């Protein structure tokens, strides 16, 4: 007889059923606790060094693209932290760890480059001040938005369209009233990228480990 996790617990990550989300959640929890309790000057210096602004992307793109995704802007109680937990768990249960990681980091990277490179060009052309090259920009929100779009593509129509319409409204509304149009345009772009990736995730995967097939957490 196959064992099944209680249905409420399937909304949360487990070390065997959703290893990527589970491990990443532990990492983000650790960095968030550190950011809340460590010396503020040290935390600010680490966040500054993790920022995916134009200046950092020009000198150490890989380092800051990875480092920026180690922090949650707003901490563990932010909306994106909660969305990360439930969206990535649901996506990984349907698409697997590797595909989920690819969507998350793909959305994080592409949306970051697509929003920051125009800033660099605008500064070079004299349309923005040089200070724009040193924005403080970090967090998981682009990856979460990409995964939300991808998850919508794997859901039945009755759940897909309300999710897409709700998240699109959220992203567009934030962009219209935004004090940070660079980040908020990136959120909308990441959602679009994830939605476009959704059909690719419907392709069959290889056999899943027995522990996962049996329903173990």
Residue with tokens 């049996």: 214
CATH number, domain with residue 168: 1.20.1540.10
Please provide the size of the chain in residues: 217
The number of C-alpha atoms within 13 Å of 138 and in the hemisphere containing its C-beta is 27
Domain count, the chain: 1
In the chain, what are the helix, strand and coil shares in percent, each to the nearest 5? 75, 0, 25
pLDDT at 180: 87
pLDDT in tens, 148-204: 999 999 999 999 999 999 999 999 999 999 888 899 999 999 999 999 998 888 766
Residue with tokens 């040089």: 130
pLDDT at 27: 98
* φ, ψ dihedrals at 127, nearest 5°: -85, -20
Residue range(s) defining the domain that contains residue 68: 14-199
pTM, entire model? 0.88
69 within domain boundaries: yes
Lowest-pLDDT choice from 3-17, 100-114, 149-163, 170-184: 3-17
The answer on pLDDT for 109 being more than 60 is yes
Cβ burial of 174 (10 Å; 0-12, 13-18, 19+) is middle
pLDDT at 135: 87
205 within domain boundaries: no
């Amino acid at each position: 007889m196959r064992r099944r996790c209680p249905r409420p617990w399937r909304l949360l990550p487990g070390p065997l059923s959703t290893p990527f989300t589970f491990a990443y959640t532990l990492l983000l929890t650790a960095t968030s606790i550190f950011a809340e309790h460590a010396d503020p000057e040290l935390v600010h210096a680490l966040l500054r060094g993790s920022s995916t602004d134009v200046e950092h992307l020009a000198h150490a793109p890989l380092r800051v693209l990875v480092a920026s995704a180690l922090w949650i802007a707003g901490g563990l109680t932010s909306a994106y932290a909660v969305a990360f937990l439930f969206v990535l768990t649901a996506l990984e249960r349907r698409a697997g760890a590797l595909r989920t990681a690819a969507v998350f980091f793909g959305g994080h990277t592409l949306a970051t480059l697509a929003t920051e490179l125009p800033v660099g060009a605008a500064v070079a052309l004299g349309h923005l001040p040089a200070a724009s090259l040193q924005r403080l920009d970090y967090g998981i929100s682009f990856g979460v938005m990409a995964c939300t779009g991808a998850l919508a593509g794997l859901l039945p129509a009755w759940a897909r369209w309300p999710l897409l319409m709700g998240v699109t409204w959220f992203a567009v509304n934030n962009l219209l009233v935004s004090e940070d149009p660079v980040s908020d345009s990136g959120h909308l772009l990441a959602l679009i990228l994830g939605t476009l990736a959704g059909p690719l995730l419907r392709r069959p995967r290889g056999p899943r480990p027995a522990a996962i097939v049996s329903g173990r957490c």
